[in-house]
Homo-oligomer: A and B are copies of this chain.
């Protein structure tokens, strides 16, 4: 950490700050400039009480943290990419993995129909919600355990691994007993009790960035899961909230290369939730593959107009087949240098 003193700070104020730094277990390196004195607090910022409160001491202008606050999620800890295996599927490897399906499991017929579309298109995993986080208490909240059972039966029939959301720490064991990948939703990205609990699970976790989450906070939430013992975490960009209202959320496409620079964890993009309108999902999916995403999460529904949830952003089957075709051509170009290029860092 760096402590910047005010221009008119006197020696006594400087001494007090140094004493405080040292009593917190850091070494103090003082550097006097033309205008200001700055003090480096040397020591691992993450293992000790933070020095943020030094900012309130007389004579102090500001405190600037130097180290990223996460460890296990950092590329400085692990240089190679984390590759997560779900059955035969590898997430974070040379292939850009497509996970698709309806927003919510509505019935056995609806899910099977969607699953067949997903499988026919050549996508790798089936997604669908049994527990649905809805803004309104009056909206459809999902089928619960019955939805999980339908997911499991559909996996048996199609061979597609299942990604589904867990909304509460008390449901983690239940969901884990049915799902292949546990999804933590955007609204729960800082539900720390839930993060600790999925950190104890044996299944991989797909962690969605919240609408208001900085990349650093997202990595800190991943750190909760990693620190609890589960090292199978993939991150998912799904749009952030900005001043722009022309689309549902603003897809932060830059998050993909920036995250891949900072962390070894795979990064997925969910264009459907970000944009909220099916007709823009295809160009955004292409952009996501081009920018280097390790996977896509796409909403597909056999009959979007009668969907109980998020129909406006769900693709019909024929649009989905077109999407898969186009992104595969792009993936061939951008991921060919995978072994030596960006993907492998």
Contact = CB atoms under 8 A, between A and B. Distances in A.
Contacts of A257: 280, 283-284
Contact of A253 (B137, B251, B329): B251
A275 interface: yes
Q: Is chain A's interface secondary structure helix, strand, loop, or mixed overall?
A: mixed
A333 B286 CA distance: 10
A214 B247 CA distance: 11
Nearest to A337: B326
A287 to B, nearest CB: 4
A247 B240 contact: no
Question: In the complex, which of the residues A190, A288, A312 has the most CB atoms of chain B within 10 Å of its own CB atom?
Answer: A190
Contacts of A240: 242-244, 250
Contacts of A304: 53, 56
Question: In the complex, which of the residues A169, A210, A257 has the most CB atoms of chain B within 10 Å of its own CB atom?
Answer: A257
Interface in A182-225: 187-188, 190-194, 196, 210-212, 214-217, 220, 223-224
B137 A214 contact: no
Question: In the complex, which of the residues A246, A254, A275, A311 has the most CB atoms of chain B within 10 Å of its own CB atom?
Answer: A254
Interface in A158-177: 167-171
Contacts of A31: 29, 31, 40, 42
Nearest to A57: B305
Interface string A10-24: 000000000010000
A303 B84 CA distance: 41
A89 interface: no
B342 A334 contact: no
A46 interface: yes
Nearest to A191: B191
Contacts of A57: 305
A22 B342 CA distance: 33
Given A31-B42, A40-B33, A250-B242, A287 B291 contact: yes
Nearest to A253: B253
Interface string A38-67: 101011101101101101110000001011
Question: In the complex, which of the residues A224, A240, A251, A342 has the most CB atoms of chain B within 10 Å of its own CB atom?
Answer: A251
A246 B32 CA distance: 25
Which 8 residue pairs are nearest across A and B when measured between Cβ atoms? Answer: A212-B212, A53-B311, A290-B290, A187-B190, A287-B291, A168-B193, A287-B287, A33-B42
20 contacts: A2-B66, A4-B66, A8-B76, A29-B31, A53-B304, A56-B278, A56-B304, A134-B192, A135-B190, A168-B194, A170-B193, A210-B212, A240-B250, A242-B242, A247-B258, A250-B252, A253-B253, A256-B283, A258-B280, A289-B290
Given A187-B190, A250-B254, A251-B254, 17 more contacts: A33-B40, A33-B43, A52-B311, A56-B277, A56-B305, A136-B220, A169-B169, A210-B212, A214-B245, A240-B242, A242-B242, A247-B254, A254-B274, A254-B275, A289-B290, A290-B330, A330-B333
